[in-house]
Amino acid sequence: MKKVIILTLIFVTFSSIMSLEIAGVSFLENQEFVENKLVLNGAGLRKKFVIKVYACGLYLKEKNNNIDEIINSDVPMAIKMHFLYKNVPKEKLISAWNKGFEHYKNKKILVKEIARFNSFFKYDAHKNDIYEFVYTPRKGVDVIFNDELIGTVGGIEFKKALFSIWLGEKTNLPKLKAKLLGN
């Protein structure tokens, strides 16, 4: 009986610290984001040509590879971006967000939300900077930069648009999308 208890404790301890490594960045299997306990669904690498820009992880309440369910569900979820490149100017970040939002079907009703979101990017992203986009129902998307809350954009419609940047049908990041879905 002691062996079973010890093995169970070892398994529970080990499973809580398991992680997936992408380009030297570890994504924990289980992580808490703004009081939401989430599980790593998948992680991948954003490359531009041969340059590694950032490693990215998608965290959900439970693993899921159904894109429509993930994008449309009103449950906690998060995207974690760990920058690998030495410097990504804030203007390029904003331009990339805007390009991603272009493909969202209801983007015209989100003009204020997108402008608010873009206003949060006041600094260039440097190597080892981390952005987290954490959706909490009835609250919205918290934008967290290096463990500091920058601001929140309310509404599930904005959350759908933001997560569509990585997971949408017309994403500019199809290889990363597949990895975030655990493929």
In eight-state DSSP terms, residue 61 is: S
Residue 139 lies in domain = 2-180
The CATH number for 151's domain is: 3.50.70.10
pLDDT tens for the 183 residues of the chain, in order = 555 344 343 443 444 458 999 999 999 999 999 889 999 999 999 999 889 999 999 999 999 999 999 999 999 999 999 999 999 999 999 999 999 999 888 888 999 999 999 999 999 999 999 999 999 999 999 999 999 999 999 999 999 999 999 999 999 999 999 999 998
User: Distance (Å, rounded) from C-alpha 115 to C-alpha 28?
Assistant: 32
Structural domain total, the chain? 1
Q: Give the pairing of strands 30-33 and 140-145.
A: unpaired
Per DSSP, the three-state class of 76 is coil
Residue 88 confidence (pLDDT): 96
How far separated are the first and last CA of the chain, in Å rounded? 39
**Contact (CB, 8 A) for 64 and 74:** no
Residue 2 confidence (pLDDT): 53
